[in-house]
Structure 1
Amino acid sequence: MLTLLGQLKVACTARDDLAKVVGEVFPNRPDSSVITSSPGLGVQLSARTLAEIGDERDRFANTRGLMSYEGSVPITRASGKKHHVGRRMVRNDRLNQAGYL
């Protein structure tokens, strides 16, 4: 039991050290001010969001492309008189969880 507690303490210390480094390095990124301007995204979630999106700005043609990748754009299926709007199941789960407020 003491061995597990020691391992947990080491893991918690490593997590705290990583959070400190992210807090120091992320604000120096060129896109940090844009990402942190989103409501509810602090430094940690913004860093996670940037890590999932990547540095390549041309990857998404527009905002809707990024939102589709994140999974927040609904899928509309229509046939005849039937019309269904549902959730997108194919998405980047880590990015979706970071953006879920």
Structure 2
Amino acid sequence: MEKLINYKKQIIIIAILLIVIVIGSGIYILHTTLNNINYSKSEAHVAALKQFPGTIISSSIEYENMKIFYEIEIENQQQDYIEVSVDAKSGKIIGYEYKER
């Protein structure tokens, strides 16, 4: 019976440590993410429209491979769709792709 109580205490301590580690990691990732955003969504829109004139259909912020970027979908005058990726840290266009309607 005493061994069972000792195991319960150890399990509770391990569970608490794991929770603290997960929360700490989440706070670190959030802090790092927020420090890597130097350009706002509207500044990213301006950068994308400067190179690809048209109307913004949609935009969102994405996080992939430790990089933060804006995905902006633009419809140009020829009614083509262009998906533009703008780096949230540098404000530079890091990629684009023409999409079929």
If each structure's strand is expressed as a fraction of its own residues, which one has the higher value? Answer: 2
Where is the helix percentage greater, Structure 1 or Structure 2?
Answer: 1
Larger Rg: 2
Give the alignment's TM-score, normalised by structure 1: 0.36
